[in-house]
Amino acid sequence: MSMFILKLVAMVTMLVDHVGFVFLGNKEWMRCIGRIAFPLYAFMIAEGFAKTTESGRLGNYWQRTLFLALASEVSYDYAFYAGFPDPLHQNVIFTLWLALSALIIASRIPFLPCKALPIALVAWLAEYLHTSYGWVGVLLVAAYAAYVKWLKEAPGWLRLVALLAIGLLFGGHYVVKNAGSYDLARIIYAFKVHNWLQLGVLGAVPFIYLYNGKKGFSHPAMDWSYRVFYPVHLGIFAIVRSVFSL
């Protein structure tokens, strides 16, 4: 399964998620499908970090991600929160950019245990700035970066176990957070009532597991469509909300 397929799946599942949230009153089955998107984007950032480091294009990748985050903020705020600026909500590309920055800083530290420090600091910064997914989003990218570095060529069963563990920890965090307690009974109740949709994060596992490291179909139009899809579709959502007073 190529990077092209991962991009298509990420875009489609994100679109389903956003339609369900913005126009259909937070439709849960659509939000469940949408849980697939962010793990795929997080993995692609980790993979992009590795690939562009090898090719010497890491600086361009970092700058492009930052520009995309800045370009997306107005449409993000208007699409989801009907106003700009919204200091309590920053778009998810900022989370991905911060995570990428953390990986770059960590890669320049030779002592392995000390690499955790910039990742922890950037995770705190993401939470402080109220970026989408916050600290746990940064840690998810870091977990996928570790997978790409050390486990991508490991036996299939080990890779599958690692990916399932990452997905369960990521989705489980939100179940516990929404339960507001570490009490097992309350966690199970919260999961049954509402947080079952977090199971959607496991939908990303087979796509990442089957990823073959190849780019797949490539065309400049497709590359640009992928890059601008996030701000453009949110901009359209914002216009529709404004026109129809949704």
Displacement of CA 18 from its chain's centroid (Å): 14
Q: DSSP 3-state assignment of 122?
A: helix
Task: Give the global pTM.
Answer: 0.95
Q: DSSP 3-state assignment of 131?
A: strand
| Statement: residue 7 has pLDDT above 90 | yes
Q: What is the pLDDT of residues 60-105, one digit of tens each?
A: 999 999 999 999 999 999 999 988 888 899 999 999 999 999 999 9
| Statement: residue 216 has pLDDT above 90 | no
Average pLDDT, the chain: 93
* Element at 99 (helix H, strand E): helix 92-107
Q: Which pLDDT score is estimated for 186?
A: 84
Query: Which residues on neighbouring strands pair with residue 90, listed in sequence order?
Result: 131
Closest CA to 229 of 93, 49, 80: 93
Closest CA to 222 of 2, 7, 62, 6: 7
| Statement: residue 245 has pLDDT above 80 | no
Displacement of CA 14 from its chain's centroid (Å): 10
Closest CA to 166 of 186, 193, 145: 145
Average pLDDT in the 41-48 region?
A: 98
Tokens standing for residue 56: 């010497």
Q: What is the pLDDT of residues 109-162, one digit of tens each?
A: 988 888 999 999 999 999 999 999 999 999 999 999 999 999 988 999 999 999
